[in-house]
A = this chain, B = another copy of it.
Amino acid sequence: MSDGGEPTGDGDWTPENDAPDGWPVPLRGVTESVIATMGPNGLWNLAALGLHAGDPVTARTYGNTRTRRNFERRGGGVVQFVADPRPFVDAALSIREASEPVLPSADAWVEVDATLVDSWTEAGTTIREWELTPGESEVVREDPTTINRGFGAVVEATVAASRLGVAGFDDADLRERLDFLAGVVERAGGAREREAMTRIEEYADWDRPGN
């Protein structure tokens, strides 16, 4: 035997559970997605949407967003899963519209019906909970998973940037976190992460240190 090691490594490892019925990918905890919903102008609005794993899968809208209004008008939309941090940032922090619902960058997508199941108010914001029922779906692209700290930092920075100026969050904490995350992207990100971070800086009321 060795000094503290486990000679079996992760020999009892099994792949992640299958995707829930009707969903094109496995979901766990909160999986971040891009949601396309058709607006009154006939264009598809793109926004970020966190999918809460469970049976049924649920999602929340915060306040009077386009996604909330379009869910109410149209009863659903198209959930998609992107591997590129730039369309995620664009959807989350800017007004993006497209003539087609599925982004070229989507690795997978699924049409969903959205049914309002609950609503409550926190710090003056009405939070609505929607039950999502999957319809037609497609897996477009598959790759081995790789880990890049810069990618995670962009996602975390997107969340922080979206909370700047929002009641109930500490702006100084958020800015300090954004500064740290910008450094991670600088050191560990690829070209896409750097560009995504530049977009966050453009969309949000925040400038990275030294710029």
CA gap between A156 and B181 in the complex, in Å: 10
Name which residue of chain B comes closest to A187, CB basis.
Answer: B30
Q: Does A29 contact B (CB under 8 A)?
A: yes
Chain B residues with Cβ below 8 Å from A192 are 16, 28
CA gap between A170 and B11 in the complex, in Å: 36
Tell me if B29 and A193 are in contact (CB < 8 A): yes
CA gap between A151 and B50 in the complex, in Å: 14
Tell me if A95 and B142 are in contact (CB < 8 A): no
CA gap between A156 and B188 in the complex, in Å: 11
Chain B residues with Cβ below 8 Å from A30 are 148-150, 187-188
Q: 8 Å CB contacts to B: which residues of A7-38?
A: 7-11, 13, 15-16, 24-33
Q: Given contacts A13-B84, A149-B159, A152-B152, is CB(A7)–CB(B97) below 8 Å?
A: yes
Chain B residues with Cβ below 8 Å from A148 are 28-32
Name which residue of chain B comes closest to A53, CB basis.
Answer: B190
CA gap between A142 and B145 in the complex, in Å: 7
Chain B residues with Cβ below 8 Å from A10 are 84, 86-87, 90, 103-105
Chain B residues with Cβ below 8 Å from A139 are 144
CA gap between A100 and B9 in the complex, in Å: 8
Q: 8 Å CB contacts to B: which residues of A140-187?
A: 140-153, 155-156, 159, 177, 180, 184, 187
Chain B residues with Cβ below 8 Å from A100 are 9
Q: Given contacts A30-B188, A184-B156, A190-B53, is CB(A143)–CB(B145) below 8 Å?
A: yes
Tell me if A147 and B81 are in contact (CB < 8 A): yes
Q: Given contacts A53-B190, A147-B32, is CB(A96)–CB(B155) below 8 Å?
A: no
Q: What are 27 residue pairs bridging A and B, where the CB atoms are less than 8 Å apart in the complex?
A: A5-B95, A5-B97, A6-B96, A7-B43, A9-B99, A9-B100, A9-B103, A10-B84, A11-B98, A13-B105, A15-B141, A16-B84, A25-B143, A25-B146, A28-B190, A29-B187, A30-B149, A31-B146, A82-B147, A88-B147, A140-B144, A142-B142, A142-B143, A145-B145, A149-B159, A153-B156, A156-B184
